[in-house]
Amino acid sequence: MTKDYTELAQDIVAHVGGKDNIAKLVHCVTRLRFTLKDESKADDDYLKQRDGIVTVVKAGGQYQVVIGNHVPDVYAAVLKVAGISGDGGVDVDEGDVPKGNLLDQFISLVSGIFQPMLGVLCASGMIKGLVAILAAFGVKDTAGVYIILNAAGDGLFQFLPIVLAITSAKRFKMEPFTAMALAFALVYPNIAASFAKGSVDFLGIPVVFPASSYLQTVLPIILTVWVGAKLEHFFKKIIPDVVKVFLVPFCVLLITVPLAFLAIGPVMNYASDLVGLIFTFLYKVSPILYGLILGGAWQVLVMFGLHWGLVPLAILELQQHPSGVILVATIAICFAQAGSLLNIMFRTKEEKVRELAIPAFISALFGVTEPAIYGITLPMRTPFIMTCVAGAIQGAFLGLVDVKMFSFGGMGLISIPSFIAPSNSWNLIYYLIAIGMSFVLGFILTQFITIPNLYGEPKEEKAADEKAVPELKELQQELIASPMIGEVVALDNVPDEVFASGAMGKGLAINPSDGTVVAPSNGEITLVFPTGHAVGMRTENGAEILIHVGMDTVSLAGKGFKSFVEVGQKVTAGDKLLEFDLATIRDAGLPVITPVIVTNSADYDDVLLTQEVRVNIGDYLMTTVR
């Protein structure tokens, strides 16, 4: 039965300065992490002496109250006492853009925004592929089965800004319904027709509305929600609480929606027009150069919505002439994504990536590449670059042999009829060669790169010599094996005063050289932290072991970590508990040193430690004695 921590929680809240002094509260595996408005109001001495609290630490702008393994229960009690909304989770700051260069930040931002919707994005792409197959077999677009399935597959893509508003709101810490209202304004059904009637201005400022509307677009809504989130945070600070619930969204909508139509959208439109002018000039200079550059840049242009500068020109070209060349270099690029995905499916060791790649592969064959790009190749980065290279080569080839398209049809496999020339069979043959070229290049170029991990799963299988360690027992003592490979570090050298002081228990630390953690003994899992950076177990003889990978790694929010066990699971010495990516931790500037602690050391007369300077998995690490 869970112990009642209400009295402890009341004491903690009162002595951190009261609930009004708490700006934010999260927890990690051993401690409550407060962000206080004024740390001087906290009573350090009282909290350090209070039963149920190990100690107090101030670090990284946080006021940390160290509790121990039962911190989730205390956290829940504090939330209730202080009246703070929370889900018992960890500090996952969705609003923070990852560090790195601008390209890294952009890729991480867009990938993170698309991540929650990848499953349904893949499913919708597959239905669009099915509709394309029906059309290829002669099903009319007026047939009920075509109309309904087309709505099922294309609906998500048409109203993508609304879905992106929800995920962007989470990323930028904005109220989701306010963000959705911004998206509804951009895709409002009658607004395109209203602007089409003639020039429109807003308080004397002309409104430039894209002929293609904001349906299916990505960046305009992301930028709009970002601006709206900034305004919302500002208005929440200055508007009184009594009217905040309706006046904050009122002010945000009143300012952000006009900004979206007057500034954000038009900037994208002008950039699209400029792209159209540049590529029209390039084609006049050299069709080969045109195909090379457009084929290589097309996917990036689509991501930014800049491709709309070419699409209207291509439609107009086919209306005025029997054939066109403007978009020829772009139609078969989806097969480069398909080829790259096939390679990734064969080589990845991540089951989740393989599961996403299969429907994304099918969608790509029919020209729907959003699941492939945003779900897999763009987050992996290098595979996406390889597909751009493949697109450039096939584009140059199409420009060299002067392939033309004769109708504005679909993408992928369904585009093939658009290249059937009335009196030139080579036109279709060359296009089919470009399809094969794009697919093969996408596959082969991806073969030359390392397939990175997206979800923290292993890059390599565990070495054959990492064998399970048999349990060793002696009367009144228990031998604990090393759960990791690395250099042994004395506990007082750990860069965290809670662990270094022994407040959490006796033990030592390992500076790991490999990202695998195994069970150091037979026993039962008692703790698996949601972010995967810490795991606890109780051995057969009662020793409670805590393995905490790195320092402050809770801030990574699970990035680079993967757990293989759950609470209550029985394990045998040598069973894999978790894996982590050393590079991810180091890139974040965090120590990788990993304490291995006997948290119930008080139940033992002593905990004897190894004298070795380096250990492998399964080597002797410590002995509990009583």
Whether 28 sits among the annotated catalytic residues: the reply is yes
Catalytic annotation, pick one of 28, 122, 334, 388: 28
Q: Which helix (H) or strand (E) holds 30?
A: none
Within its chain, how far is the Cα of 467 from the centroid?
A: 34
Owner of token pair 């904050």: 248
Give, as one character, the DSSP assignment of residue 57. E
> Between the CA of residue 117 and those of 142, 179, 291, 371, what are the distances in Å?
30, 17, 33, 9
Torsional class of 68: left (φ above 0), alpha (ψ -120 to 50), beta (otherwise): left
Burial class of residue 544, CB neighbours in 10 A (0-12, 13-18, 19+) = buried
Whole-angstrom distance, CA of residue 293 vs CA of residue 275: 12
Residues 329 and 307: beta-carbon distance below 8 Å: no
CA distances from 324 to 290, 291, 402, 414, 516 (A): 14, 13, 10, 18, 56
Joined tokens for residue 364:
């790509």
C-beta separation of 414 from 136 below 8 A:
yes
Closest CA to 167 of 159, 155, 176: 176
Q: What is the arrangement of strands in the sheet containing 606-609, beginning at the earlier edge strand?
A: 473-474, 477-481, 620-625, 606-609
d(CA 595, CA 609) in angstroms, rounded, equals: 13
Helix (H, G, I), strand (E, B) or coil at 527: strand
- Are 552 and 589 spatial neighbours (Cβ–Cβ below 8 Å)? no
Whole-Å CA distances, 589 to 498, 517, 592:
20, 21, 9
Angle at the Cα of 188 (from 184 to 194), degrees rounded to 5? 150
Tell me the C-alpha distance between 35 and 216, whole Å. 40
CB 363 within 8 A of CB 371: yes
Report the 10 Å Cβ neighbour count for 1: 3
Handedness of CA 105, 108, 110, 113 (dihedral sign): negative
Active-site residue list: 28
